[in-house]
Every structure is written in C-alpha cells, then in structure tokens.
Structure 1
C-alpha cells in the first residue's frame, strides 16, 4: 500500500478543547506511522498539503442499522434478501462519505456485509456487527401485531431473512442457543432487548425485557467469547437490571435517573444515546407508516432525551455516539452532533464519536485517534469542529477527504 504524507494540518486531538497546531501526519501500510510538529521526510510518499484545514480521526457511530431500510419492519422482513442487500449499499457508502469510518450495527448486519466491505467489493465504513437483535416473545424485537394466535415461523422471529433485524428466544436454553448461533454466524457482540420500545406494537416503554437469569446467561455466553452485550433499554428500572447483570453498553437510556446513572458509572457501563432518531420519528414517522401506537410512545422518550445527557454527564457515565436511524432518515446521521451540542460542548461530543467509541469497541489505540500504529482512519475538514460543529453535519460537504485504513475513499481536494 502506498504512503501518504499530510502536511501542515491543524490537528484535532479528542479530549482537547482547542486544535493543537499544525502537524505532519505520515500514513504507511494502512497505519499512522508518524505525527510530528516538524516536517516529516518521506520521499516516496504522496504529499497532500492541508494547510488551513483540520486533520482529525474518522468518526464512529455505535448504533446503526445498515439493513434498516424503512420503518415497516414487517415488510422489510418479507423483502427478498438480494433486494435488501442491494438497496442498502448506497446508504452504507453514504455513512463513510459523512466521515463515519467505523460503525457498529445494532441489529441486522452480518459477517457477509462486513466481508464485502473489507474485501473492497462495496464501499463502506469498518463494521462491527451484532447479527440479529435477540428479544423475548412480546418484546421490542417481536414485531408481530397483536392477534388471537402466533405464527412460530413468522419472519421476524427467525434468522433466515436479511431484512429480519431481530429474532425471538425465550428461556435459559433458548437464549444461550440464540447467542451461540449469532456468534457462529459472525457476530462481534450481542444485542438484546431489555425494555419496551417505540416501534414494537405490543410492549409499552416501561415493559421489562429479559429476566435476570436470562440476561446473566446471555452475558456469560458473550464473556466466553471475550466480547460483550449491548442492550436496548429506556427506563431506569430496565437499565439498572441490565447493568447489574453485566451488560456493558446501554442503548438509548432516555428515561434514566441519577441514581441509576451512578450505578452505570460505578459498574463501568457505557451509554449510547440516540437522540436524532426521536426527532426524525416525530417529524417523519407517520408519513413513513409508523403506526399510531408507536407515534404515541415517541413523545414520551423524545421529551426526556436531552435530560438524559445531563444525567449521564453528572454521574460520570461515558457516552458513545449513536443515531439509530432507519430508511430515508439515515441522511440525518450527522445531525446527532448538532443536537448533542445543545447540552454538551463540541469537544465532548467529538470525543464520544472517537476515543470513547473506540473504548466501547475494545479498540483503544487503534481507532478514534491519530497516533502511531493506529488505523489510518482520517478526515480532512474545512473549518474547526471544536468551534463550529456544523463542519461535521450534512452529507460531508465540509469533509473534502475521507481516508479509511490508509485508503483515500473520497477526495475533493484535488478538484
């Protein structure tokens, strides 16, 4: 792989509140080779002068659904596998164009789409996949509408369709088997449903998910594979139970209270708020077919979402960056930056999408920062995101160059 030398860029270091000054950054063999405040000599490297622009690490979104092509999960689960896959490809590339060089899929994506990206068959971010989310019968992952009988082979309850983002499993033996199957099929981590949800038809927000015994069994299976469990959870009660059972990453967390946030901090659990999705659902959900019972639940969690950021911060809970957008709303991915900056300073929000994201993925020193031996995931940005977060919003208009793993994937600097 060829070498690239970025000269004179203003370096953004996650955690710092100001750019650290002009630096040269040398990339070799897909890794950051050297970062220096003095000119680097590399005669064989392609040189790119980025004076006046910001050099920063690639962004990490910890809660995406690359196969979540619409709000009607029933229709999606019945769509042929090839159509779901091909329709997802442009959206996957668009994430990378926005500067997200790494994403964690929170339900649906499998090893095949990860391999397609890694092999260069399609363009997209580095991907950590969860396989299908695992839900109890009647939980957030059970998308069957209420009726007087249940079809055991309904698409959403199995794992045979690409568009089926979830699967249903109950009991200790059932959940252990489901987790083992997801790992066998290539999952990097496991996603479970620990409370009710917005888009599911039969469970209120306050409904509890898996029992403590089932949750501990799932966590034990993940631990045996040296990885972790992430859990969809809204209420303080559900979050507390999940954390006490060893869940490491709490998704959403809108209805947290300070005591439970303190429990998370003590346990070393992370929060991944996804605020933009509630604004998107509130404004676009009905027009895209979200049923009335779901629209009624959106306002409950949307109104509490900003307060949750304050509580997590007050308790010292580390927050990762997530979006959880479906269908056409995926274009709003970078709006999460703007929303969080209504409560938090830009430096903290950027840290959530860089070094904290790397921590959650157990990729410290490899992702989320421009340091020697890290993966060369790098953005060139017009402007200073620490002063104006709008540099990172939109569809990448202010990000003229995106590099992932040492390969320049998008380059408008030359033009």
Structure 2
C-alpha cells in the first residue's frame, strides 16, 4: 500500500523540536521519505492531516498480554483457548490507545505472535519473553505457602515457571529461545502480587543470572529482570542484565551502576497507582496491599534519581486485568518528575533502542516501520492529551490504517 501523509507537524521521537508542514511517504509499510517536499508515487493514497501533531506509535516495554486477571495466580486456572480469546481483546484495546508495539514480560508466546502476524488479531507488534523464570519461592512461584506438591519443583503456570540451579536455568532459557522468545525474563527481587516473598528478598544466585545472560547472548538477545530493590538492581547489572524492571527503590549507587553499565531502567508507575487507588475492590490480600505501599513510597524518588543521572529510562505499565484501561495514565504519573518531551522519548525512541530496534521503531525517519499516530492537540504542551483515545485521530501500523477519524 502506498500512502502520503501531508500537512504533518512531526515529532520524530528523537529531536527536541517539531517540524511543521511535513509530508511522509510510505511504501510497503516502510517510511521512505520525510520532508517538506517528497517524491511520492501518483498511485499513493493521500491523507491530509491538517497540521496536526504526528508522532511515532507508542511502545509499552512492560506489558502482559495474558494478564487477564489482577491476581496472576487466577490466570493459571483459565483454559488456554479462553486465555487466548481474552488476550485478543486486551491487545486490540491496547492498539486503540496508540500502542503499536509492546514487550511482553511473562507468558506471551509464539501462538499469540503468530495470530498477530497473520491478522487474526489486530494488535500491537509483540516482543515476548515466553515463560518468565523464577526460583522456588520467588516472585514467579505463585503457589500459596500452604500449597504442597509431591515434587516441590513442579510449578509451571500460565505466566512463569520455577527453575533452580545453573543447569535448570540454562535449559529453561534455551527452551524459551527455541520457542522464539525475543528476550528472557528473570525475577531477581521479591514482588507485590506474589504470595510468599517479601520485597527485600534477593532471588537467583549470581551464577544463575550470569548463565541466563550468557545463553541469551547466543541468540543476540538479552535479559530483562524484575528488580524492585537497590541491591537487586546492582546485582542485575553487574551480572549483565540489560533491562531492570520496576527499579522502584533505587539509591544513588544503584542508579550509578545502571548508568555505568549502559543498562535500561523501566519504571512502572501505573500498576502501583492502580492498586493503591482500587484497594480492596481488587480482592487482593493484605500482604499484597502492604507490599504495594512499601514500593509506592519510593517510586517517584527513584525515577527522579534515574533522570538526574542521565540513565536510559524506558516506558512500561505492568497492568493486569481490569486495570489495563489505565495504560495511558503512566504519562500523567511520570509528569511529576519528567518533562513531556522526556516522556515521549521514553515511550518511543528510548524503548525502541531497548528492544534493539533503534531506527526501525519509535521514530519517523526513512527506513523505519510506518507506525504513526496523528494527534488532536499537542502532547509536548500537555502530555495528558494521550490519555484521551478520541484525541488519536489516525493510527497506522506497518503502513496499515487501523483507525481514521480525520473526516469525522
């Protein structure tokens, strides 16, 4: 399909300034030319966006396509076919919010990616980790403390599986990579929505982390690691982890370690805010509520420290179940610390670099995928504009029109 967008006010995902009166020529899903005058085929469909704000499609770097319940332990009880149908609804709603790419942090698989690629689901481009890996009693071990198996090492749920020791980690990583995983996910600290691990708990030994990193490197991919605490973040980056998820309770030395390693931190404020806001309505345990309060008191301070140190800050939300519709609230929450320009970069070009897709995603430039949004209003003046899906007048993904209300 040949498309020519004209009358664009372009934010390219990188530069400080926007460029007015631009045209964008798209051929076979790829941006071929951007400028005031472009050489477009006479056969191209022309769309005049009327001077509106045009930006790259958004990227959510901490997403859960199969996260259909707020309490992840409940997801294990859902039949796979039903889980897939519910994931379809989640992905289609996510695309409608302007997220043309997501990086899944636990559970998404080849089947879901194939359904997206073949058009059975019209949703975001999917980078998946397969099953997230947890040690016994770690954040991904969703058995309650009173759950007794004949074999204590047998847990494998819908989102995560238990592995212990270097050999088990190695085998599990290789298996996820065989199944097409784009990155590997480890749990390296305690977490909120798990039944038996305190936030401060260190998880996986250093040699277990290192072997996961080494095996991922054989496929030229990387490890993303759940890590709330400062100690966990330091352990991650000194052992080669590329992406520190949540990064909620960082001190100066943890931030410095992330910066020195050239690693990425992906704060997820939206899930913390949602759990605090919804409280008892979610049916979560008192232990989970207490752990949420513990991390909430540090999250903005950690983000401010990362920003001040010049760290690579990605954009993620980590939402689950009925909370998914709060995805764009992450923009407003970050506004407490970051400028609109910084937030837009985090959700576009920075996340693209994190996904090892710099120049292909998160930017409006020649040779990039034609994932574009046309916005009514100016997110650089008011980032909250992105919280209203009606302000997204046009969504292009791979050059295909997924939404167009410009004539409305």
TM bin (shorter chain): over 0.9
Quickly say closer, same or farther: Cα 1:387–1:25, change in 2 above 3 A.
same
1:401 paired residue number: 394
Quickly say closer, same or farther: Cα 1:202–1:383, change in 2 above 3 A.
same
1:24 paired residue number: 23
Number of aligned residue pairs: 408
Query: How far is the alpha carbon of 1:290 from its aligned partner?
Result: 1.2
1:9 paired residue number: 8
Q: Distance in 2 between matches of 1:32 and 1:329?
A: 34
Q: Distance in 1 between matches of 2:147 and 2:53?
A: 59
1:171 paired residue number: 165
Quickly say closer, same or farther: Cα 1:25–1:151, change in 2 above 3 A.
farther
Tell me, yes or no, if the aligned pair for 1:71 and 1:285 is still in contact at 8 Å: no
2:52 paired residue number: 53
1:352 paired residue number: 346
Query: How far is the alpha carbon of 1:375 from its aligned partner?
Result: 0.4
Q: Distance in 2 between matches of 1:147 and 1:198?
A: 18
Counterpart of 2:194 in 1: which secondary structure?
Answer: coil
Query: How far is the alpha carbon of 1:221 from its aligned partner?
Result: 0.6
Task: State whether structure 2 residue 227 is matched by structure 1 residue 233.
Answer: yes
Aligned partner (choices 313, 321, 345) of residue 315 of structure 2: 321
Query: How far is the alpha carbon of 1:121 from its aligned partner?
Result: 1.0
Query: How far is the alpha carbon of 1:183 from its aligned partner?
Result: 1.1
1:125 paired residue number: 124
Query: How far is the alpha carbon of 1:186 from its aligned partner?
Result: 1.7
2:134 paired residue number: 135
Q: Distance in 2 between matches of 1:180 and 1:280?
A: 35
5+ residue gaps, structure 2, are none
- Using the size of structure 2 for normalisation, the TM-score is 0.97
Task: State whether structure 2 residue 292 is matched by structure 1 residue 292.
Answer: no
Quickly say closer, same or farther: Cα 1:292–1:105, change in 2 above 3 A.
same
Q: 1:34-183 residue pairs with structure 2 within 5 A?
A: 34-38=33-37, 40-147=39-146, 149-150=148-149, 152=151, 157-158=155-156, 164-183=158-177
Tell me, yes or no, if the aligned pair for 2:20 and 2:51 is still in contact at 8 Å: no
- Aligned CA RMSD, in angstroms, stands at 1.4
Tell me, yes or no, if the aligned pair for 1:18 and 1:386 is still in contact at 8 Å: no
- Using the size of structure 1 for normalisation, the TM-score is 0.96
Q: Distance in 2 between matches of 1:185 and 1:31?
A: 28
Q: 1:316-395 residue pairs with structure 2 within 5 A?
A: 316-394=310-388
Q: Distance in 2 between matches of 1:30 and 1:52?
A: 22
Counterpart of 1:42 in 2: which secondary structure?
Answer: coil
Q: 1:160-239 residue pairs with structure 2 within 5 A?
A: 164-239=158-233
Query: How far is the alpha carbon of 1:24 from its aligned partner?
Result: 0.4
Q: Distance in 1 between matches of 2:20 and 2:236?
A: 43
Quickly say closer, same or farther: Cα 1:154–1:123, change in 2 above 3 A.
farther
Tell me, yes or no, if the aligned pair for 1:50 and 1:380 is still in contact at 8 Å: yes
Q: Distance in 2 between matches of 1:280 and 1:142?
A: 23
Counterpart of 1:354 in 2: which secondary structure?
Answer: helix
Q: Distance in 2 between matches of 1:226 and 1:154?
A: 30
5+ residue gaps, structure 1, are none
Tell me, yes or no, if the aligned pair for 2:25 and 2:38 is still in contact at 8 Å: no
Q: Distance in 1 between matches of 2:373 and 2:126?
A: 18
Deviations 1:256-277 (A, max 9, x none): 1111111110101100000011
